[in-house]
Amino acid sequence: MKLQKFFKYAFPIGVAGIAINLLLFITNWYYELVVPLIEDTFIEGALFHFLDNLIYYTPVIFMLLFVAYIIAGHIYMKKVHITKEVQETEKLVEKNEKIQKELDEKAEFLKHKYYTNCPNCGSVREENANVCSFCGASLIIKEKKKQ
């Protein structure tokens, strides 16, 4: 659930981050601000060259990280939506199975004709009953076969 909050706004945040870092890289503002701090130190040679390049390309690195954030957010949120769709579909299938079972029972009930009074004990047939509630005899009228 925490990841869902983290990735919920990945696209607008990622686009904003890319735009800001692109602006920093194009204007070279970030580089001009940070490099003098390193130049004032006693760092020289390969380490200075590495730090100089790292500072220069930092906005590009952050742009790539924001692109990865957008992609990861899209993938994660898609999985979340698919999971929710599957859960909703399962609920609907379960609900439809219950409805279908009820309809099948009603259809089976309507296939037959029933006595209004029990042929065995004479008690009145209860609504939607196919057996007598007193003696348990069948209330279904059996069709006579023609010969």
- Cβ atoms of 55 and 34 within 8 Å: the answer is yes
- Cβ atoms of 7 and 76 within 8 Å: the answer is yes
Determine phi and psi for 42, rounding to 5 degrees: -95, 20
- pTM (whole model) above 0.95: no
Q: Residue 41: what pLDDT?
A: 85
pLDDT over 60 at 118, yes or no: yes
Mean model confidence pLDDT for the chain: 88
pLDDT over 60 at 116, yes or no: yes
By C-alpha distance, which of 61, 76, 73 is closest to 12? 73
Distance linking the first and last C-alpha atoms of the chain: 72
Determine phi and psi for 56, rounding to 5 degrees: -65, -40
Q: Residue 140: what pLDDT?
A: 86
Q: Residue 26: what pLDDT?
A: 87
Q: Residue 146: what pLDDT?
A: 56
- Does residue 3 or residue 90 have the better pLDDT? 90
Q: Residue 83: what pLDDT?
A: 92
